């Protein structure tokens, strides 16, 4: 009897193929002069963002014509009744990309019935590719990764994209208390803070608000690495809501803090 392939094997192969192509485009653009424009929401966009998303959309439509695609630049396109939706952030960290800071990546996810089941993250200038499929574990450059076993905040490395969004907001007090107690607080922003949690280099990553294309790929990778990825209050991730990635022990403690239970 022929060996059974893993669930989503064909989709994972496509995601990795798309990650290769995206890396080629991004590195070529990054290596020369390029224009940075501001969109209506004042966030930046470059040639790399637009070319990569267009390429990814075209390939997905060719391979899986019944699937919808949600992307940062082009929104939601394709059939809306199939239950399968690819989610794409062509350049996560466009501000870094434009400033010639190497921490940026292409994020590709597949969600089924609203839940991410596959994620691939390609960060070519870091030499890192993360991937995960639901029920099959998470990997960095082909090697299994796992979250840390740190259980106490005073021993934890806490990462956040920045402090400005916390100050003056409803979670300011809980955040400042956490920052004061943690062993270290570092600003490893965008996708990378969550991937540091997934591979056990950091223990916590938290953000006040992310769009679906920002968290879809990283969520499945964090969870398949043994972690938890939810909103600050422990509720499921949602478009434009907060995101907390951590190992299980610290996740439970921080959810209690942000809920006001601890």
Q: Considering Cα of 262, then 207, then 250, then 135, what sign does the dihedral take?
A: positive
Q: Which of 242, 214, 258 is nearest to 89 (CA)?
A: 214
pLDDT tier at 80 (50, 70, 90 boundaries)?
Answer: low
- Is residue 48 within 8 A of residue 56, CB to CB? The reply is no
What is the reported pLDDT for 98? 95
> Quick one: angle between helices 172-181 and 248-259, nearest 10?
140
114, two tokens: 């609203």
> What tens digit of pLDDT does each residue of 5-58 get?
789 999 999 999 999 999 999 999 999 998 989 888 878 899 999 999 999 999
**pLDDT, position 262:** 60
The two beta strands, 138-140 and 143-144, are antiparallel
Q: What's CA 103's distance to the chain center, in Å?
A: 13
- Let me know: does 111 contact 91? Beta carbons within 8 Å: no
Section 103-121 average pLDDT? 97
Which stretches of 59-164 are assigned E, i.e. beta strand? 68-71, 75-77, 84-92, 105-112, 115-123, 128-133, 138-140, 143-144, 157-160
Model's pTM, two decimal places? 0.95
pLDDT tens readout for residues 83-99: 999 999 999 999 999 99
Neighbours of 185 (CB within 10 A): 17
- Which residues contact residue 150 at a Cβ distance below 8 angstroms, ignoring those fewer than 6 apart? 156, 203, 247, 249, 250
CATH of 153-259, one of 3.30.420.40, 3.40.190.80, 3.40.50.970, 3.90.1410.10: 3.40.190.80
Q: CATH 3.30.540.10 region(s) of the chain?
A: 9-136
What is the band of 1 on the pLDDT scale with cuts at 50, 70, 90? Answer: very low
Residue limits of CATH 3.40.190.80 in the chain? 153-259
Q: What local confidence, expressed as pLDDT, does residue 139 receive?
A: 98
* Superfamily of 9-136 according to CATH: Fructose-1,6-Bisphosphatase, subunit A, domain 1 (3.30.540.10)
> Per-residue pLDDT averaged across 189-193, rounded?
92
Q: What is the mean pLDDT of residues 139-155?
A: 98
């Amino acid at each position: 009897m022929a060996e059974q392939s893993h669930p989503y094997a064909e989709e994972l192969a496509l995601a990795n193929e798309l990650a290769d192509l995206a890396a080629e485009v991004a590195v070529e653009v990054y290596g020369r002069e390029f224009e940075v424009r501001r969109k209506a929401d004042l966030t930046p966009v470059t040639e790399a963002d637009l070319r990569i998303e267009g390429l990814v959309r075209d390939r997905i439509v060719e391979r899986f014509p019944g699937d919808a695609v949600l992307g940062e630049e082009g929104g939601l396109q394709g059939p809306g009744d199939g239950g399968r939706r690819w989610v794409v952030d062509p350049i996560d960290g466009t501000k870094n990309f434009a400033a010639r800071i190497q921490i940026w990546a292409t994020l590709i996810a597949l969600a089924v019935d609203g839940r991410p089941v596959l994620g691939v993250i390609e960060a070519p200038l870091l030499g890192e590719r993360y991937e995960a499929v639901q029920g099959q574990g998470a990997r960095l450059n082909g090697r299994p990764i796992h979250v840390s076993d740190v259980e106490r905040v005073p021993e934890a490395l806490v990462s956040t994209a920045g402090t400005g969004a916390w100050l003056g907001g409803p979670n300011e007090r809980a955040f400042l208390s956490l920052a004061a107690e943690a062993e270290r607080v570092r600003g490893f922003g965008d996708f990378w803070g969550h991937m540091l949690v997934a591979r056990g280099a950091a223990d916590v990553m938290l953000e006040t608000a992310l769009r679906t294309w920002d968290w879809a790929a990283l969520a499945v990778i964090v969870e398949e690495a043994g972690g938890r990825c939810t909103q600050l209050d422990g509720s499921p991730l949602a478009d434009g809501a907060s995101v907390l990635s951590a190992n299980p022990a610290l996740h439970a403690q921080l959810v209690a803090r942000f809920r006001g239970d601890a």
